[in-house]
Amino acid sequence: MQFTAAQIAMMINGRVEGNPETAVGSFGKIEEAQPGQLSFLANPKYEEFLYTTGASIIIINEAQELKQPVSAALIKVPDAYSAFATLLDKYQQIQRQQLSGIQQPVYIAATAKTGEQVFIGAFAYLGEKVVVGNGVKIYPNAFIGDHVVIGDNSIIHPGVKIYHDCVIGKNVTIHAGTVIGSDGFGFAPQADGTLKKVPQIGNVIVEDGVEIGANTTIDRATIGSTLIKAGAKLDNLLQIAHNVEVGNNSVIAAQSGISGSTKIGNNVMIGGQVGIVGHIKIADGTKINAQSGVSKSIKTPNSAVTGSPAFDYTSALRSQAASRNLPELEKRVMELEKMLKEMMARNNF
């Protein structure tokens, strides 16, 4: 599939400098791209490759100043990284539009309903009273439990398991191996020391525009719903416990774990391997550094925290700096003690 610089510029609202009829058929990293490929430059540390790359078309920032001639056709945009992401999304949509129909073998319950232009891959399972919207892509080996609803244009990748009664919004992407709606971790201690399972009768609701990475688990609520709000982006290998709420446009990086009933606000950024205890609240705009352990609510919006237990990011950096100086401080204290003893001896104290 070939696109000219002029066509690409129209897709991303860019301005062409060079030959607008230059055509490309694939993508390449700027340091490795070959003729016939499109690349982009957003990070200044890769600027040297702008003048040596073999790429035929390059998307760059409007503010980028050229230090020497460039052989490729340039498409100038306000934000090259964002524009490139938009272009990749459009390219992916074109590819996915070619997928349609129902492969065999599959199991689709007689009471299930599917919309127009859906794709259901081989060995997929759709349970009783499932509702699948228009343009949905369900890849092979996916399991869709009874009464699940999947909104228009959502993508369910291979091996995803969505348990009964869960609701998936529009334009949601769920990557391979993820489990939505498994039982929350609820057990009641008994007098004889055994643990009695607490039935988990709620569900999971994933709102519009959410993306969930591979092998993530999101537990169903004990009562009510575990809620992933619109626009949230969840990485691979996450554990989201029962009755958790993740706010609009919040981002959680890989290997983090959110304990039960914790409420995460909007536009929160959580680094990798963060652990958050249950039944607390994280204020809007909070940033939590990687490997932090959050043991109490963060009530001030737009806070930044780090460490375990996590506390204010700037204070934590000062504490780390002070810790590095401890050996030198100890040496100075010992010298001062020695001087003090000598002074006391000289003065008969």
Number of other residues whose CB lies within 10 A of the CB of residue 121 = 19
CA distance 48 to 212: 35
Burial of 200 (0-12, 13-18, 19+ CB in 10 A): buried
Tell me which DSSP letter residue 163 carries: -
Which residues lie closer than 8 Å to 83 by C-beta, 6 or more apart? 12, 13, 14, 40, 59, 75, 77
What's the CA dihedral at 307, 309, 310, 315 to 10 degrees? Answer: -70
Considering 147, 164, 242, 279, which one is annotated as catalytic? 242
- Is residue 147 part of the annotated active site? The answer reads no
Which residues lie closer than 8 Å to 63 by C-beta, 6 or more apart? none
Distances (CA, A) of 275 to 129, 249, 254, 306: 37, 20, 11, 11
As given in the structure block, the two tokens for residue 205 are: 């609701």
Reduced to 3 states, what is the DSSP secondary structure of residue 80?
helix
- The residue type found at 105 is P
CA gyration radius, the chain: 27
Tell me which DSSP letter residue 90 carries: H
Residues serving a catalytic function are 242
